[in-house]
Amino acid sequence: MKGYVSGNRITLLKNGAEYFPALEAAIDHAREHVHLETYIYRDDESGRRIAQALIRAAARGVKVHFLVDGFGSQPLPQQLLQTMRDGGVKVLVYRPETSRWRLRRYRLRRLHRKLALVDSSVGFIGGINIVNDAESPAAPPQYDYAVAVEGPLVGEIFSAMRRLWNIVSWAQLRQVRSRDHRRALPVAPAGKVRAQFLLRDNLRHRRAIERAYLRAIGKARHEIVIANAYFLPGARFRHALVAAAERGLRVVVLVQGRTDHPMANYAKQAFYGTLLQAGVEIYEYQKSVLHAKTAVIDGIWATVGSSNIDPFSLVLSREANVAVYDRGFAGELRASMQQEMDSGAVRILPESLQSLPMHRRFLIWLSYGIVRLLMGMVNYPHNEPKR
């Protein structure tokens, strides 16, 4: 399969309870270098925990690079960043925010990927930010995933992270632009899994993640299961799901029921009628906030990453996913997704749309209109959904 690399071990990590201990342990075993990228970083228990691990690594002589988005992590206190710098961590901010009130198109081009790399031993890819994923110890955590990658795919993660670090560092006049990302990082096989590292940027990989989804959906023969936090698919993606359902496949979409972005939550409901009419099953996750960006197709192809299925992830932001072609991994992820649907999701039935009150319909179409306007600004293909 073109683009897939063999010889990997891929370990599924669910929520911060599994991700943060694995990330911290890997950093504590680092000998040469650590790279960390994230969209949101908070000065909370999780953020301080990882910051201290980075500082400990730097104190051992490890080269530690930390790149954080200037919009997603705008509330991050400068004191914490300075503590990291004082501890030997090299810190850069991607597109720092200088004004909250200036609306420019480039502001939407964010560093949304969540990546970590430790030596040539392990890389992390997923949707989990460096932030407490529960509002309180008694509350259920956000529903999300990451993976730990060992094997040759780590070399591709290294090249991508070093390349972006060099670009940002050069743009901010921190150093002479380096070409070390072109250096191949030799990594021995660690397993038997075939996987592909998928990037989305504004140069060579503008639609790489969307195309990977569309290829997998187009080749599907039995079942498509998608869990995605912000589900606002464009015309191509919607048509692919409808066509799959009309071919007789079971198509399941799990989306947020509880959300911190009301406009996106209302706007996504504008697509419900078209999808339900075609036979797509839609479930809303109610147990906590769904933040996952995952899919399993035919029990053999799976993806985990940072990319939502919306115009901001698929057309604007820097994103990173891993696509895995392996029945063992896909089966584990599929079972985990099913468990969450069984325990925390409600199915949306076609008749429920007919009983929506007028004020709810107004909010749905107002929100969709605003999103559609933003879609037009970024030239994202869309069609009017059926009402």
Tell me the per-residue pLDDT of 76-132, one tens digit each, with 9 for 90 and over: 999 999 999 999 999 999 998 765 555 555 567 899 999 999 999 999 999 999 999
Mean pLDDT to the nearest integer, 224-229: 97
Q: Which of 70, 18, 15, 20 is nearest to 44 (CA)?
A: 20
Choice among 14, 35, 90, 119 that is catalytic: 119
Helix, strand, coil % in the chain, rounded to nearest 5: 40, 25, 35
Beta bridge partners of 198: 321
Q: Do domains 5-191 and 208-377 have the same CATH topology?
A: yes
In the structure, what pLDDT confidence band is assigned to residue 387 with cuts at 50, 70 and 90?
A: very low
119 is catalytic: yes
Please give the pLDDT value at position 239.
Answer: 97
Selecting among 14, 90, 268, 291, the annotated active-site residue is 291
Judge whether 326 counts as a catalytic residue: no
Annotation says 291 is catalytic: yes
Q: What residue spans define the domains of the chain?
A: 5-191, 208-377
Residue corresponding to tokens 């964010």: 110
Give the C-alpha separation, 229 to 71, whole Å: 19
Question: Considering 14, 90, 114, 382, which one is annotated as catalytic?
Answer: 114
Strand partners of residue 242: none
Q: Say if residue 369's pLDDT is above 90.
A: no
Of residues 374 and 287, more confidently modeled: 287
The model's pTM: 0.92
The residue from 112, 133, 310, 382 that is catalytic is 112
CA 145 to CA 14: how far, in whole Å? 5
pLDDT score of 182:
61
The residue annotated as part of the active site, out of 69, 144, 201, 298, is 298
Is residue 62 within 8 A of residue 30, CB to CB? The reply is yes
User: What pLDDT is recorded for position 75?
Assistant: 86
* pLDDT score at 271: 85
Least-confidence region, from 140-149, 167-176, 204-213, 300-309: 167-176
CA dihedral 145, 93, 312, 22 (to 10 degrees): -10
Which letter does DSSP use for residue 310 in this model?
A: S
Residue 206 confidence class, pLDDT cut points 50, 70, 90: confident
* Mean pLDDT on 13-17: 97
Q: Could you give the CA distance from residue 49 to residue 250 in angstroms, rounded to a whole number?
A: 42
Q: Hey, which bits of 43-162 come out as E strands?
A: 63-69, 90-94, 114-118, 122-126, 145-150
**Element holding 46 (H helix, E strand):** helix 45-59
Is 261 within 8 Å of 231 (Cβ atoms)?
no
Question: Is the pLDDT higher at 315 or at 163?
Answer: 163
**Fold of the 5-191 domain:** Endonuclease; Chain A (3.30.870)
User: Is 65 a catalytic site residue?
Assistant: no
Catalytic option among 14, 90, 268, 293: 293
* 37 close to 162: Cβ distance less than 8 angstroms: no
CATH superfamily of 208-377: Endonuclease Chain A (3.30.870.10)
**16-30, 69-83, 368-382: least confident range:** 368-382
Rounded-to-integer distance, Cα 214 and Cα 220, Å: 10
What's the distance, CA 321 to chain centroid? 7
DSSP 309: B
Considering the chain, what percentage of its residues have pLDDT values greater than 90? 70
Measure CA 356 to chain center: 32
Angle at Cα 229 formed by Cα 223 and Cα 232, nearest 5°? Answer: 80
